[in-house]
Amino acid sequence: MSVSSSLLIADVLEQRQVPPGALEPVPTDLLVALRAVSDPRCRRGTRHRFNAVLGLAVCAVLAGARSYTAIAEWAQDLTPTVGQRLGLGRLPPCESTIRRVLQRLDGEHLSQVVSDWLAATALVVGAPRPALRVIAVDGKTARGARVAGGRAVHLLAAFDATDGTVLGQSVVDGKTNEINAFAPLLERIELTGTLVTADALHTQRGHVRYLRERGAHYLLTVKANQPTLLRQLRQLPWPQVPVADRTHDKAHGRVESRTVKLTTVTAGIGFPDAATAVQITRRRRPTAAGRWQTETVHAITDLDVRQANAATLADAARAHWGIENRLHWVRDVTFAEDLSQIRTGNGHAVMATLRNLAISLHRRAGATNIAAACRHVSRHPSRTLPLLL
C-alpha cells in the first residue's frame, strides 16, 4: 500500500462519527483525543493531515515555540520517530500551512476538547485530590493581539489551583464582558463539590445561583462594585474577632505576613447563601528595608466554619492570587504572550489554548520552572512524546 493511500485511510478513520446517543470515552492519548477537533479546511488539495498539524503545534509549544514561524522551524528538526508518531509525512508542513490551519480552527471547540481530556486523565496521572478542590476564575488581556477595532484580546480562564492546570479558557467578546462569560466557561467543567474563587468583578448574585445549581461552593472577594455588601462586611465587629490563622513568608525579595479572621453571618447580609465572612490582612515590605504596607481584603463564602477552617480559606484565597504567578506571568514571560501580534482569525485564542496546555502538561510531569521544562524538551524533540499520554 502506498504512503498516500495509507494516509487517506487514516483520514477517513478520523472522520468517523459517534452514533447519536452513544458516549465515547475520552482517550488517554492526547493525539487521539485531538481527533475530535474538526478540520476547518476544504479536503480538496490538502497535503498534510489536520491531526498531524495540530499535534505538531502542541509539541512545538511544549518546546517553547511562540509563533507560527517557530513551530515550523521546530518541525524541521524532527526525528523520523517523532514525525511518524505525529502522523507527518517526509516533509513537515511549512509556516503558511500551520498558520492557515490554526487561524481557521475553532478556538472554543479546541479548548473544550483539551478541557475534557485534562479532566478525564487527571485521576490517571495526578496525585490524590484534596478534600476541597479549588478552581480559580480570572481574566487576562493579551496586549499584543488585536481584533477588529483595535481592541486587545481578553481571555477568561479557569485554573485548577491544586495542580496548576488550566481547565478551560474563553475569549471575551468585545460586545460583552467577563461577567457574561463566567457561566459558559464553567459549563464545560465538573464543579460538584469544588470551591470556585474569583475577584470582585464576579461577586454577582447570578453567579452564586449558578454555582449552587452546579453543586459548587464560592469564595468571592468583595469590593466597591458591591457597595452595600462591602459596607455590611466592614461593619462587622472585627476587633472582637480573634485571629484564626496566621502565616509569615520571606521570598521574592520581600517579607509578608497574613492574618485571617472568620465570623459567621446568619442575618443582615443580603447575599445568597452567605455563611461566613472573611477578613484577610496582608502586611508586606522589601526584605532589605522599607516601610510596611498593609492591605485589608474582605470576602464572602457559603462554606461554614465546619466545612472549611481559616487555614483552608486562606490557602484558597492565596491560591487565587497565585494565578498571576503560576499562569499569567508564565504566559507573558516564558511564552511572550503580551508581545505576540497574532491577531488574524482564531489564531490568538488557539495559541493561548496551546500555551495553557503546555503549562498544564509540564506541571503534570512535575516541572516547577516552565521555562526550564520547555528548554529541556526543545533539546530533544522525542521528549515531547511521554507528555502526551
CATH number for position 185: 3.90.350
- Closest listed residue to residue 135, CA positions, set 59, 202, 81: 202
Sort strands 217-222 and 195-198 into parallel, antiparallel or unpaired.
parallel
pLDDT in tens, the chain (389 residues): 333 333 433 443 344 344 444 445 667 889 999 999 988 888 776 788 999 999 999 999 999 999 999 999 999 988 888 888 998 888 889 999 999 999 999 888 998 899 889 888 875 554 556 678 899 999 887 665 555 555 667 788 899 988 888 888 887 765 567 888 899 999 988 899 999 999 999 999 999 999 999 999 999 999 998 999 999 999 999 999 999 888 887 766 778 888 899 998 876 678 889 999 999 998 888 877 778 888 899 999 999 888 888 888 888 888 888 788 888 888 888 988 877 767 677 888 888 899 999 999 999 898 989 999 999 999 998 999 999 88
Domain-ending residue, one of 298, 331, 364: 331
**Same-domain pairing of 57 and 121:** no
Q: Is residue 337 part of a domain?
A: no
Domain count, the chain: 2
Domain-ending residue, one of 308, 331, 354: 331
Domain assignment of residue 29, given as a range = 3-105+345-388
Kindly report the pTM of this predicted structure.
0.82
CA dihedral angle for residue 325, residue 331, residue 332, residue 337, rounded to 10 degrees:
-160
**Backbone region of residue 149 per phi and psi (left: phi > 0; alpha: psi in -120 to 50; beta: other values):** left
Q: Are 368 and 376 in contact (CB under 8 A)?
A: no
**Same-domain pairing of 208 and 278:** yes
**What is the Cα–Cα distance from 346 to 103, expressed in whole angstroms?**
5
**What is the Cα–Cα distance from 329 to 335, expressed in whole angstroms?**
9
**Same-domain pairing of 271 and 126:** yes
Q: Is residue 81 part of a domain?
A: yes
**Same-domain pairing of 23 and 117:** no
- C-alpha cell at position 238: 472585627
**Same-domain pairing of 197 and 150:** yes
**What is the Cα–Cα distance from 78 to 85, expressed in whole angstroms?**
11
**Same-domain pairing of 309 and 355:** no
Q: Is residue 280 part of a domain?
A: yes
Domain-ending residue, one of 331, 357, 375: 331
**Same-domain pairing of 192 and 69:** no
Q: Is residue 79 part of a domain?
A: yes
Q: In the chain, where does DSSP find H-type helix?
A: 3-14, 30-33, 50-62, 68-76, 80-86, 95-104, 107-125, 178-186, 205-213, 227-234, 310-321, 323, 329-333, 347-364, 370-379
**Same-domain pairing of 114 and 101:** no
pLDDT value at residue 203: 93
- At residue 199, what are phi and psi to the nearest 5 degrees? -80, -175
3-state SS, residue 222: strand
**Same-domain pairing of 43 and 159:** no
- Closest listed residue to residue 350, CA positions, set 363, 334, 368, 337: 337
**Same-domain pairing of 16 and 101:** yes
pLDDT value at residue 9: 32
**Same-domain pairing of 181 and 320:** yes
Cross-strand pairs, 323: none
Integer CA distances (angstroms), 6 to 3, 32, 56, in order: 5, 17, 19
**Same-domain pairing of 69 and 198:** no
Q: Is residue 340 part of a domain?
A: no
Q: Is residue 338 part of a domain?
A: no
Q: Is residue 185 part of a domain?
A: yes
Q: Is residue 118 part of a domain?
A: yes
